[in-house]
Amino acid sequence: MDSMRENDTGDRKNDMILLDSAEGAGSVDAGDDTHTEHPHPPHQHPLYHDSSQYRHWRFSETALREHRESANAKAIALARAGWEKEEALNAASQSSTSASASTAKTTPPSTDEEDRLIVYYLSQVKPICNLFQFPEVVEASAITYIKRVYLFNSVMDLHPKRVMLTCLFIATKTVNAPVSVADFAKHIGKGKISTSSILDIEFLLSQNLRFEYATHPAHRAAWGVYLDMQSMQTTPQQELDGLFGEVRQLVRMSRLTCAELVYSPSQIALGCFSMANRTLTDAYIEWKRNAFNAQPPPHTAIEGVVHLINTYKSSNTLNKESVQDIDRRLKAWQDPSKVEGTAMHRLKQEEGDKVDLDKRKKRQAEAERNDKDGESVFGGLLGGHITHGT
As a whole number, mean pLDDT of residues 59-84 equals 89
As a whole number, mean pLDDT of residues 187-192 equals 80
Which amino acid makes up residue 222?
A
Ranges of each domain in the chain: 58-215+331-338, 218-318
User: Which are the contacts of 228, defined by CB distance < 8 A and separation ≥ 6?
Assistant: 16, 17, 284, 288
As a whole number, mean pLDDT of residues 168-195 equals 90
Q: Which position has the higher pLDDT, 378 or 44?
A: 44
Q: Place 190 in a pLDDT band, splitting at 50, 70 and 90.
A: confident
CA separation for the pair 37, 45 (Å, rounded): 15
For 60, counting Cβ atoms within 10 Å of its Cβ (0-12 exposed, 13-18 middle, 19+ buried), the class is middle
Q: Lowest-confidence range among 94-103, 130-139, 170-179, 330-339?
A: 94-103
As a whole number, mean pLDDT of residues 299-303 equals 91
pLDDT of res. 339: 60
pLDDT of res. 357: 59
Q: Which among 7-21, 48-62, 201-215 has the top mean pLDDT? A: 201-215
Q: Convert the pLDDT of each residue in 91-124 to its tens digit.
A: 666 555 555 545 556 788 899 999 999 999 999 9
CA separation for the pair 327, 108 (Å, rounded): 10
CA separation for the pair 300, 32 (Å, rounded): 17
The pTM (predicted TM-score) of the whole model is 0.75
Question: What class does CATH assign to 58-215+331-338?
Answer: mainly alpha
Q: Which position has the higher pLDDT, 237 or 373?
A: 237
Which of 309, 311, 171 lies closest to 249, judged by CA? 309
Q: Convert the pLDDT of each residue in 254-285 to its tens digit.
A: 999 999 999 999 999 999 999 999 999 999 99
As a whole number, mean pLDDT of residues 125-141 equals 95
Q: Place 171 in a pLDDT band, splitting at 50, 70 and 90.
A: very high
CA separation for the pair 74, 55 (Å, rounded): 26
Classify residue 31 as left (phi > 0), alpha (psi -120 to 50) or beta: left
Would you call 106 helix, strand, or coil by DSSP? coil
pLDDT of res. 198: 92
User: Which are the contacts of 19, defined by CB distance < 8 A and separation ≥ 6?
Assistant: 266, 285, 288, 289, 294, 295, 296, 297
Which strand (E) or helix (H) includes residue 127?
Answer: helix 125-132
Cβ pair 67, 151 in contact under 8 A: yes
Count CB atoms within 10 A of the CB of residue 370: 9
Q: Which CATH superfamily is domain 218-318 in?
A: Cyclin-like (1.10.472.10)
pLDDT of res. 94: 55
Q: Which position has the higher pLDDT, 192 or 121?
A: 121
pLDDT at 350 over 60: no
Q: Which position has the higher pLDDT, 28 or 172?
A: 172
Backbone angles phi, psi at 44, to 5 degrees: -70, 140
Q: Which alpha helices (H) appear in 233-316, and where do they start and end? A: 237-254, 259-262, 265-276, 278-292, 299-314
pLDDT of res. 272: 96
CA separation for the pair 244, 268 (Å, rounded): 14
Count CB atoms within 10 A of the CB of residue 322: 15
Which of 269, 264, 262, 230 lies closest to 246, judged by CA? 269
As a whole number, mean pLDDT of residues 337-361 equals 59
Q: Place 210 in a pLDDT band, splitting at 50, 70 and 90.
A: very high
Q: Place 290 in a pLDDT band, splitting at 50, 70 and 90.
A: confident
pLDDT of res. 293: 78
Q: Place 18 in a pLDDT band, splitting at 50, 70 and 90.
A: very low
Average pLDDT, the chain: 79
pLDDT of res. 7: 42
Asked whether the domain spanning 218-318 has the same topology as the one spanning 58-215+331-338, the reply is yes
pLDDT at 24 over 50: no
pLDDT of res. 343: 53
